[in-house]
Structure 1
């Protein structure tokens, strides 16, 4: 499974194989495409007392996540929280501020992905890793045909410092891979997070809403694992 080079990425975009919208050639690196932080995000809904979060219950998902929230203009955030303006960020620029240890669901501004056959992965840009921010905490794989604004699990790993995330900042990168043929693309195999096929970008854009960032494990059925023959008696 080989990685697309920047020349292959540009050719694949021209051919319609890779979708990168809105297109910015300056964001294409040697073997990846940089994506930027979008406007909307969800926070965890903190409770004074610990509770059990059931991700298989839509009502509990809605309770657990607070949002969708929208990035706040820099000057407005500083005035509300009693800070002076931060250096090198325009006063009217929207920002998201992560508290120490805070995790949010956010999204790429770009609609991006690769049509089948082919697959992709998302990784944080090294600058954010060095600043103690994890961008794709544990879910950075894109199936063949998955094209959308990608959801990011952004986590501030710093224990004592909040971190400012400006909207539009290059925060992650996608790497594209060649694969063998697949019998169906993402929409047909699962499609929990994409309502349209990869050939209909207009519909994908029109159907997108911040709610698509929320987890949808409740759409799957709970099934016991298959029986493993020849285990010792009493084991399963």
Structure 2
């Protein structure tokens, strides 16, 4: 094969390859707080990217180990310097330094959409949040590192509406609230021994109900009664169970 023919074939192959294959790779650095930095001793993450047609093909890594912090993803070129960018469409997957999955969240039309999940470095879930077109919609949950559920909130139209429940790390109930547009309307709470410490309703920002305190042996220590945010009755007991004047 003569040299002219070889050159022609090489040119044909090169020009048939996608432009992105020749895009230059760039790098930006971030510190531990996700801020851009050019001071190498403060670098905690490095972003490698290529740009083609206004889009950036990106992958993030821990620095200096170069362990992956993210799976590859695509973002508008203008978001290169944003540590946690918003994808137009697609899934953002992040990883802990130890190789355990850290977060998975999907975007649609530039907004979070679907169920976002976070994990602790030990592999247990830390949080679940459902989105619909960028708004919180559905039941969101948080978890302790031991896997026990810490809280559960019902969202509607990006606000807490419905039950908000909280638990202690052993799974026993801590607080139950009824929410309306991010505001509590009813609250009941327990201490770590399962004793009620408050039972309140809230109307127009004013509390009505009782607040209790207990001695370590389980005997009642005090009881405060509220009506429309005014203390209307208070009772105290000594350690022998007698009412204090």
Name the TM tier (shorter chain).
Answer: under 0.3
- Greater share of strand residues, 1 or 2? 2
Question: Which one has more relative contact order, counting CA pairs under 8 Å at least 6 apart?
Answer: 1
The structure that has the greater radius of gyration is 2
- Greater share of helix residues, 1 or 2? 1
**What is the TM-score of this pair, normalised by structure 1?**
0.19
**What is the TM-score of this pair, normalised by structure 2?**
0.19
